A and B are shown apart, each in its own frame.
Chain A
Amino acid sequence: MSDSYIEINNLTRIYKPSSKVSVEALRGVSINLEKGEMISIVGSSGSGKSTLLNILGGLDWEYEGDIIVDGKDIREYDQNYYRRYIIGTIFQTYYLIPTLNVEENILLPLKFGKKMSSKEAEKRLEQLLDEVDLKDRRKHMPKELSGGQAQRVAIARALIDKPKIVLADEPTGNLDSKTGEQILDLLVKLNEKEGTTMIVVTHDMAIADRTERKITLKDGKNV
């Protein structure tokens, strides 16, 4: 066993939409990450980026191969625990809950677990609002936010429970290049400050170039 923080070994995912058809979305992907590292995964659509992200995010467990996080096969985790405390996810379309305000959206993950006391949660919220610069928008509803602001809310939400790994799925995909830049600046800053391992999936090479390492997927394999 190597001393990498995340080891993805020979990851394969075959979809079988019907008995006659099978699609190999991932064909033996292997990636190693150091703790606190920030990498990007690039590739054209259909290259297997989303499939990899779903598996890493704990949304899809029907894969072959192994994923070791912090020395432990993720299959050994309780799936809910894994999604709740190991992984924080940022989506391209933010996925904020429209009827909850900024604060409530950020605190939403805490509704499903009780790791943090309300005092701690309050402190963490203040800290994150400060980091993502949304202190003056805390009571705003998602529809009152710009795309960049909404994505900052989503980033704060992904980090509220202090996950070990943050997965960002095309985090700048819906934003203009300047705002996208700012979001990436924020992710870089948080990666340094919080020491969270980050995996950014993107097809934007300018974004990918900002990360420490770039992994390219093509036809379900890393090249």
Chain B
Amino acid sequence: MVKMFKYALDLVFRRKLRTFLTSLGILIAVMLMSFILFGMSDLESLIVGQFTQQFKPNELTVGTTDMISLMGGALSAPSKQDVEREEVILNSEAVENIEGIDGVERVYSMLRISGLEMYLEEDEVAYPRGFPMASNIPGDHSLIGGLLEGDDLTLEGSEVYVSDFVSQFYELSNEEILGKKIVLKSSPPSVFSAPSKSNIDKEYELTVVGVTDSGNNALFISLEKGLDIVVDLGGYADKEEYINSVGYSQLLLSTDIDRTTKIEDFIVEELGFSVMSTETLMAFVSTITGGLTIALILFGSISALVASVGIVNTMIMSIYEQTNEIGIIKAIGASNFQVLVIFLIQSALIGLIGGVLGLSITYALMRLSDPFIVDLLVNEGFDVGNFFNFRFDYAIYIALSSIFVGILAGLYPAYKASKLDPVKALRYE
């Protein structure tokens, strides 16, 4: 067997270029499959992990617009219904209605405040990312991400939590930033907003009492302070007027887990708000990654098919070229079975070469591109150490599968070769 293997090896490497070209097909299929195995599963768990970190299965986020479509998932044209729905607002009455639903344990009202620039005291550079978020959600809640520094779990008055990104931005340690002042200044009018008299040169001073692990959610203030700011900024008479005309941005509900789905349905159907739950989010994420995976697997399978046709073609060609040689080895004692094995070894080797080359290239590409992808993801707020997860056990499966594809493609040619009549084969010119 070892001797036959060496002989088959000799046959394969006798035509190096053709062997290489034939194995290219397998190479491409292997690369596609590897990216699916080493990338897609991690992509899904990454996204799911990121969201489950912030959202608990019994929590619902209620808003006025479809948050999934806001996330870039709008796959359909806007409809008038959507516009009508946007007219519902999260005012006091809505909050009361929701609080009254059976199974709702806790409702946190949340305000996203836009139109403000954020500065650290005695620093001229504005922090470039994120809005202040006002709510009475305690500091150890998963949405805030927990306090890295500071022990004040409830915000009062002008107290503020900043995320660790903010302290990094201002080149301070989490400890150093505690007690510093944050100044929110009204933004100069931009192309997106009409200038208004009320929001010119407004400034609000806050004191940092905690540093959160919330990444791009840069700033948390108390709901009261938030309302003060929006009333002042927007020129409203009082908080009531703001809440009843604009409403809260979102509500975070904590519910009885047994009733979460029912509550979600009720709020969507009866009250007309959008609800994001862990469940809908997961479904959304897995639809996207699932679709991508199917597409990639399809491409991978098609290229594996094309590759095996390539192998069949090459092997049949080499039967014609090696007809004489097959005749010779049969005349000197090779059995049909041995000829079959020699040809199968050849096609398996082509598969293996394609597989190993494909895996090596994939490995190199992953190693090279990983830092960039991780950079990109971290910038987008994902908490990742590495994206591609090259697993050697999977690599072995992939290599074995490419050998298998090689053998499968080689079956017919090998059978044909083994059945050659030695007399005719010797005479073949």
Binding site for B on A (CB under 8 A): 54, 57, 59-60, 79-80, 83-85, 88-89, 91, 95, 97, 99-100, 108-113, 157-158, 161
1/0 contact string of B299-331 vs chain A (CB within 8 Å) = 000000000000000000000000011011111
Distance (whole angstroms) from the CB of A187 to the closest CB of chain B: 18
Binding site for A on B (CB under 8 A): 3-4, 6-7, 10, 14, 324-325, 327-335, 338, 422-423, 426
Contact B3 A110, beta carbon cutoff 8 Å:
yes
Which among A99, A100, A108 is the interface contact of B332 at CB below 8 angstroms?
Answer: A108
Contact A59 B330, beta carbon cutoff 8 Å:
yes
CB contacts (< 8 Å) of B329 on chain A: these are: 108, 112
Secondary structure dominating the interface of B:
helix
Contact B333 A83, beta carbon cutoff 8 Å:
yes
CB contacts (< 8 Å) of A110 on chain B: these are: 3
- In angstroms, Cα B329 to Cα A83, docked, is 10
Distance (whole angstroms) from the CB of A130 to the closest CB of chain B: 21
Contact A109 B423, beta carbon cutoff 8 Å:
no
Contact B332 A157, beta carbon cutoff 8 Å:
yes
- In angstroms, Cα B99 to Cα A20, docked, is 98
9 pairs of residues in contact across A and B, judged by CB atoms under 8 Å? A79-B335, A84-B333, A95-B324, A95-B328, A99-B14, A108-B7, A109-B332, A112-B333, A112-B338
Contact B335 A112, beta carbon cutoff 8 Å:
yes
Contact A112 B423, beta carbon cutoff 8 Å:
no
Instruction: Look across to chain A and name the residue whose beta carbon is closest to the beta carbon of B424.
Output: A59
Contact B426 A83, beta carbon cutoff 8 Å:
no
- In angstroms, Cα B396 to Cα A100, docked, is 33
CB contacts (< 8 Å) of B332 on chain A: these are: 83-84, 88-89, 108-109, 112, 157-158
Contact A97 B328, beta carbon cutoff 8 Å:
yes
With A84-B333, A85-B333, A111-B6 already in contact, 9 other A-B pairs whose C-beta atoms are closer than 8 Å: A80-B333, A83-B330, A83-B333, A88-B332, A95-B426, A99-B14, A111-B334, A112-B333, A157-B332
Which among B3, B4, B325, B331 is the interface contact of A57 at CB below 8 angstroms?
Answer: B331
- In angstroms, Cα B10 to Cα A100, docked, is 9
Contact A113 B333, beta carbon cutoff 8 Å:
yes
Contact B426 A91, beta carbon cutoff 8 Å:
yes
Contact A54 B423, beta carbon cutoff 8 Å:
yes
Contact A99 B10, beta carbon cutoff 8 Å:
yes
Distance (whole angstroms) from the CB of A17 to the closest CB of chain B: 12
Contact B331 A59, beta carbon cutoff 8 Å:
yes
- In angstroms, Cα B307 to Cα A115, docked, is 40
Contact A112 B334, beta carbon cutoff 8 Å:
yes
- In angstroms, Cα B329 to Cα A113, docked, is 12
